[in-house]
Amino acid sequence: MTASSSGMWSSRLIFILAAAGSAVGLGNIWRFPYVAGENGGGVFVLAYLLCICVIGLPIMIAEIVLGRAGKNSPIASMKIMARDSGANPAWQIIGWMGVVAGFMILSFYSVIAGWALAYFLKMIQGAFLGIDADSANRVFEDFISNPHRLVFWHTIFMAITIFITSRGVGQGLERAVKLLMPGLFLLLILLVIWAASSSGYFLKGISFLFSPKPEDFSGDSVFLAMGQAFFTLSLGMGAIMAYGAYLPKSAGIAGSALTIGVLDTLVALLSGMIIFPIVFANGLEPSAGPGLMFVSLPLAFGNMVAGQIFGALFFLLVSFAAVTSAISISEPAVAWLSEKGKFARSTSAYTIGFLAWLLGLGSAFSFNLMSGFTLLPEKSFFDSMDFLSNNVLLPFGGILISLFVGWRLKPEILLDQLPEISRFFLGLLIFSLRFIAPGAIFLVFAMSFLK
C-alpha cells in the first residue's frame, strides 16, 4: 500500500490549508509566545524569521519533493529515493528519525492540547468572568497540579486524534480545514484589533516583540529559534513529507511552501501581538513559560465584552488546530505500519496512538507527581521530550534532508518535481540545501553547545 493510494488532495488550496493546519497549532499559539518571552522577545523573533527564510522554506520544499516523488510513507519514500538516486540505502534513516521525533512530539503535544480542551470547557462554564491576574494564575496552577485532570484531558485529545487518523487523512481533514483554518485567522485578527483598541500597552507589547536588543542576544536564543522554526513548520518529523505524497502533480511545490510558511509565521506573530500587550497590561511576566497562553488569554477573555463567547470559540479552534497538527504528526508512523500490510489502517492508528498516550503520561506527570524528576540535566520529563525532539532530532533531520536533496538526489527527480521554478532559483535552492541550511544548523548547534 502506498500513501498516495489513501487519496489525493482535491486541490492545491486544500493541500496548503492541510499543511498549514499541520504547521499552525500549539507551536504558534502556545509555544511561540512563551519561548519568545523567555528569550528576549525581539532578538528571538528576528532569529526566528531568519531561520524560517534561510533554513525552513528550503527544507520544506525538499521534504515535499521527497514525499511527492516517493508517494509512500517517509520511511519507504526515503528508501525509494535513495534507490532511484543510486545512493546508500542508509539514507532512509531520515524517515526513521522523522517518525521517532514526531512520535515524541505527539506524546507531549497531546498533553498540552488537552489543556486547550479543558479551557474550552472552563470558558463555557464562565470560570474566568471578572477574574484578576492572580486568580487566573491560581486556576492554571491548580489545574496542572492535578494529575488525574491532566491524564483525563490527555486521553480525550488522543482519542479524538486516533479516531480521525483511523479514518484516513482525506475523508475528514479536508472538510475540517476549509472551515477551521479561516475561522482561526478571523478570530486572531479580531483579537489583535481588540488588543490594539482596549489596552494602552499594545505598543509596549509590539516593541517587545519586534525591537531586538543586542544585549538580549545569545546562542540559546538562536538555537531555540531554529528549533521553533522546525517545530512550527512541522519540518523534520515526516509530516510534510507524508502530506507531500498526497499532493497532485499539477500543484506547484515552491509556491505552496512559501504560502504555508507565510501563513504559519503570520499566526505566530499575531498570537504574540495578542498575548504580550495583555501580559504587560496585567503585570504578568513575559517569561512566564508554558502557561503563558493559559493565564494571559483567559484573563483577557474574562474581562472583555462577550469574552465568554470569544474565549470558548478561541480555545475550541485552538483545539481543532491542535488536532489537525496531531493527525499530521502521527501520519508518518501510521502510514508506515499500514503500508507494511501487517495492520489495517485503523489498527495502526490505535497502536501508534496508544503508545504515544503511554509515553505522554511522563509529560503529564512532569507538572505534578514527577515534578522533581529530571531525564536530562535540569530538565523535567516534559522539557526533555521537548528539547530532544525540537532542538536535536528535528534540526539534525533537517541537516540530513538538506544534504540528501542537495548532494545525492538525482537531478532529474528535482527537475521533474519543480518545473515551475526557473533554473536560477533552482540553483539558489540547491546552493541553500548544500551549504547554507546545513551550515547554519551546524553553526547554531556549535554556538549552543560550546558556549
* Per-residue pLDDT, 1: 44
* Per-residue pLDDT, 7: 58
Residues 114-126: b if buried by 16+ CB within 10 A, e if exposed:
bbbbbbbebbeee
* Per-residue pLDDT, 331: 83
SS3 call for 297: helix
Instruction: Considering only residues 156 and 322, tell me which one the structure prediction assigns the higher pLDDT.
Output: 156
The C-alpha cell that represents 146 in the structure block: 492535578
The C-alpha cell that represents 198 in the structure block: 482596549
pLDDT one-digit tens code per residue, 12-24: 778 888 788 777 7
Comparing 41-55, 127-141, 226-240, the range with the smallest average pLDDT is: 226-240
Length in residues, the chain = 451
Q: Residue 238 CB: number of other CB atoms within 10 A?
A: 35
pLDDT one-digit tens code per residue, 330-383: 888 888 888 766 688 789 889 999 999 999 999 999 999 999 898 888 899 999
Determine which helix (DSSP H) or strand (DSSP E) holds 173, and give its type and residue range.
Answer: helix 169-198
pLDDT one-digit tens code per residue, 405-423: 999 999 999 999 999 888 8
Domains along the sequence of the chain with CATH: 3-449 (1.20.1740.10)
Q: How many helices (H) and strands (E) does the chain have?
A: 22, 0
Confidence band for 199, pLDDT divided at 50, 70 and 90: low
SS3 call for 379: strand
Region of residue 252 (phi > 0: left; psi between -120 and 50: alpha; otherwise: beta): beta
Determine the Cα–Cα distance for residues 168 and 432; give it in Å rounded to an integer: 35
3-state secondary structure 55-107: HHHHHHHHHHHHHHHHCCCHHHHHHHHHHHCCCCHHHHHHHHHHHHHHHHHHH
Mean pLDDT of 202-231: 78
pLDDT one-digit tens code per residue, 130-183: 888 889 889 999 999 999 999 999 999 999 999 888 876 666 667 777 777 787
The C-alpha cell that represents 322 in the structure block: 491542535
